[in-house]
Amino acid sequence: MKPHQQSVPCGCGIDVHAHLVPEHFPRYIGNALPADWPSMAPAHDCHRHVMISGKVYRTVSDRCWSAPKRLADLPAMGLALQVVSPMPELFGYWMAPAAGQQLTRYLNDQTAALVDAGGGQLAGMGVVPLQDIDLAIRELEHAVRVLGLRAVEIGSNINGLPVGAPMFDPFFEACVALDAAVFVHAVRPAGMERLVGPAALQQVLAYPTDVGLAAASVVTGGLLARQPKLRMAFSHGGGTLAALLPRLQQGWQVFAALRESISEPPADTVRRLFYDTLVFDDAMLRQLLHAFGPAALMVGTDYPFNFQERAPMQRLESAGFDAATLQAISHRNARRFLGLDPHKDSE
């Protein structure tokens, strides 16, 4: 590693982890209003409260819905393209399927509208009501074929079931058929009962914990053996996966039950998945590169929330990656993940 020797490819970055929240939510159309149907309420200048179940879930800035404000921020972040996806608490997996479908349809329409207003500098990920796999597949078809979204954002768990559970196989088969990439983001995480301190620890500690377990469930559940063409990424650098991996690899070598049920070494499987760079630390980034390989990492920022990486390209530079690695992480891996270079699929 030779820190600060390479200059970052300026302004070419692709951020695959950035969120939107719509300025408004529609009224629920149906008989029984779900208790957690979201709404927006006025807050201080340029901000609004996301209201869920009668409480302020989060106060967000107009950068969540304003295309001009978002576009104005991209150059200073070194980004040529930002891929926007809804704030995960809006997945609505916990609602009745019809309500979840209504909410995700609205979010997908809003996402497509934001992408349209982006003048080529924004791309979008859809969301789908995974509490009902058939409905989710139909919504994915709409998001990809009608709205032109390139990927789908899903939770690290769906009402407690990790994404690697075999029951989700038909959905991932549809993702491959539709050439839609999958971005797995933490939501309603495991481990909440182990936290001691303020509510923010959910995002800070339990989110990466749940993402790590979700990624591990994909590895141990054999999803990539069944869907080798699936392009799947994990938020927050894969969360705790990098720390779990050496023990998983060793466990695979020691326990016959693991070797019998997992067809390839976990240390190989993890290199066929994608991860964002949202770890706020040079040494941790280098550890991700070591564990997952140079083809696996893509820039992620959590823009425009407060807990975001504000200088993602400088972070790559300070991690001391070589020029080829910088190019791969800053944009080439993301282009492959998003299917933007179809002729380069095999590289």
Residue among 334, 267, 239, 254 at smallest CA distance from 296: 334
Strands 79-86 and 13-20: what pairing? parallel
Longest Cα–Cα distance in the chain: 62
Does 56 participate in binding its own copies (rule CB under 8 A)?
no
Out of 197, 342, 343, 346, point to the residue binding its own copies (CB under 8 A). 197
Does 226 participate in binding its own copies (rule CB under 8 A)?
no
Residue among 61, 75, 133, 74 at smallest CA distance from 101: 133
d(CA 316, CA 296): 14
Out of 203, 227, 318, 327, point to the residue binding its own copies (CB under 8 A). 203
| 238 three-class SS | helix
Does 220 participate in binding its own copies (rule CB under 8 A)?
yes
Whole-number minimum distance, CB 205 to its own copies, in Å? 5
Does 157 participate in binding its own copies (rule CB under 8 A)?
yes
- Which span sits near its own copies by CB under 8 A: 4-12, 111-119, 140-148, 232-240? 232-240
Out of 43, 147, 176, 258, point to the residue binding its own copies (CB under 8 A). 258
Residue 307's CB is within 10 A of a number of other CB atoms, namely 11
Does 319 participate in binding its own copies (rule CB under 8 A)?
no
Out of 205, 233, 313, 334, point to the residue binding its own copies (CB under 8 A). 205
Where do runs of H (alpha helix) occur along the chain?
67-77, 97-116, 133-141, 169-177, 201, 207-221, 223-226, 241-254, 256-261, 266-269, 282-292, 312-318, 323-327, 333-338
Residue 245 DSSP one-character state: H
Residue 233 host element (H or E)? strand 232-234
Q: Could you tell me how many residues make up the chain? A: 347
Distance set, CA 94 to CA 59, 268, 318 (Å): 22, 34, 41
Out of 151, 213, 319, 326, point to the residue binding its own copies (CB under 8 A). 213
Out of 26, 97, 251, 320, point to the residue binding its own copies (CB under 8 A). 251
3-state secondary structure 117-132: CCCCCEEEEECCCCCC
Does 59 participate in binding its own copies (rule CB under 8 A)?
no
Whole-number minimum distance, CB 184 to its own copies, in Å? 12
User: Would you put residue 26 in left (φ > 0), alpha (ψ -120 to 50) or beta?
Assistant: beta
- Which span sits near its own copies by CB under 8 A: 11-19, 31-39, 78-86, 244-252? 244-252
Q: List % helix, strand, coil for the chain (3-state, nearest 5).
A: 45, 20, 35
| 52 three-class SS | strand
Which residue's CB is nearer to its own copies, number 107 or number 205? 205
Please give the size of the binding site for its own copies, defined by CB under 8 A: 61
Does 248 participate in binding its own copies (rule CB under 8 A)?
yes
Which residue's CB is nearer to its own copies, number 197 or number 342? 197
Does 227 participate in binding its own copies (rule CB under 8 A)?
no
- Which span sits near its own copies by CB under 8 A: 108-116, 136-144, 177-185, 248-256? 248-256
Range 270-299, binding its own copies (CB under 8 A): 279-281, 283-284, 287, 290-291
d(CA 59, CA 56): 7
Does 247 participate in binding its own copies (rule CB under 8 A)?
yes
Out of 24, 47, 145, 194, point to the residue binding its own copies (CB under 8 A). 194
Out of 7, 45, 254, 346, point to the residue binding its own copies (CB under 8 A). 254
Residues within the interface to its own copies (CB under 8 A): 157, 160, 162, 164-166, 190-191, 193-201, 203-205, 208-210, 212-214, 216-217, 220-221, 236-237, 239-251, 254-255, 257-258, 261-262, 279-281, 283-284, 287, 290-291, 306-307
